[in-house]
Structure 1
Amino acid sequence: MRKLFQYNWTVRNEWLAICEKLSREELTKSRTGGMESILRTLFHIIDVEISWARAILGKADVLHAESDYASIQDLRKLSEQYREDVIQAVSGKGTDLVKPGWMDQTFHKDDILRHILAHEIHHMGQLSVWAREIGIEPVSANVISRQQ
């Protein structure tokens, strides 16, 4: 599973690099699907990963104010700030059964990790559609020939 997380982080970093070149207007423009803008969707991807990883580790959720992350550079910092928590969660730290503080349900850690992976891949697909709409070549989704 670690390889798929590394894949997601590589693809995320490539998207962040592309999005750094976009205007604030393009990043925040209201769009159909996802979290309705490129910036909000990237924030959501990162925030969800952090929340679930910290739940696996038995740590309190950190509620990030979306308004505090108004640039791609801010999102890049947020993504890296909690990377160690995610690495620990993926590496087998934490409990097998997880009850996140924001839900009444309990989930198996492996199901949560698969959810995090699928969630990011889903939203990256949305970014790909939006990129094509504005004339930008999307990041490749290829797993096999990607250098890790």
Structure 2
Amino acid sequence: MLDLFLYNWQVRDDWFKWCEALSEEELRKERIGGVGSILKNLYHVIDCERLWVHHMQNKPVISTDFSSISRLDEVMAYAKETRANTEDFLKHWTSEDEEKRLELTNKKGVSYSFTYKKVLLHIITHEVHHIGQLSIWSRELDMKPISTDLIFRDFM
């Protein structure tokens, strides 16, 4: 599992570098698809990672309100803090943890039960999904997207 998180973090870092070529206005510009803007898309995957890992750690699930974030460096700082927590969680991961269950009840009173393994796989694929949206937007900006080709990345 850690390897796929390392892959996602490496791709995310490359997107952060890619974003440095854009103005803050372009990063915040509302777009079709994803969660609305490049900055929001990046923030969203980080916030979801934090939420799910905090659930598995039995920590309070407190996310930063996106409206308080308006700059790339703020999203990058949020990513750094979230990654440190997730890395610590994964470093202590054992095969026995895979079958632990996360029990949740949503605001409508509907209960869910997921294995920790499924939650981690969800976090990984959720980010891959949203990174695809960034690739589409980069093409709309006539810019080359970040390569997500796992086979040619050195992250292990």
TM-score, scaled relative to structure 1 = 0.92
**Could you list the runs of 5+ residues in structure 1 that have no partner in the other structure?**
none
Q: Distance in 2 between matches of 1:17 and 1:137?
A: 13
Q: State the secondary structure of the residue aligned to 1:82.
A: helix
Tell me which stretches of 4 or more aligned residues in structure 1 moved more than 2 Å: 88-91, 99-104
3-state SS of the aligned residue for 2:150?
coil
- The farther-off stretch of 8-17 and 79-88 is 79-88
Corresponding position: 1:144 with 2:151? yes
What displacement does 1:83 show? 1.8
Letter in 1 for 2:86: V
The unaligned stretches of length 5 or more in structure 2 are: none
Distance 1:48 1:101 in 2: 17
**Matched AA of 2:18:** I
The corresponding residue for 1:127 is: 134
Does the 8 Å contact 1:54/1:61 carry over to 2? yes
Structure with more helix by fraction: 2
1:102 to 1:71, Cα distance in 2 relative to 1, 3 A: farther
Asked whether 1:57 is paired with 2:57, we answer: yes
Larger Rg: 2
* Whole-angstrom CA distance in 1 between matches of 2:47 and 2:105: 15
- 2:42, 2:29 → 1: CA distance? 13
Aligned to 1:26: 26
SS across alignment from 1:22: coil
User: Measured at CA, do residues 9 and 79 of structure 1 come closer, stay the same or move farther in structure 2, by a change above 3 Å?
Assistant: same
**For this pair of structures, how many residues does the alignment match?**
148
TM-score normalised by L of structure 2: 0.87
* Aligned pairs for 1:89-108 within 5 A: 89-91=89-91, 92=93, 96-100=100-104, 104-108=111-115
Q: What displacement does 1:32 show?
A: 1.1
- 1:34 offset after TM fit, Å? 0.4
Aligned mates of 1:99, 1:60 — CA distance in 2 = 14
Calculate the aligned-residue CA RMSD, in Å: 1.8
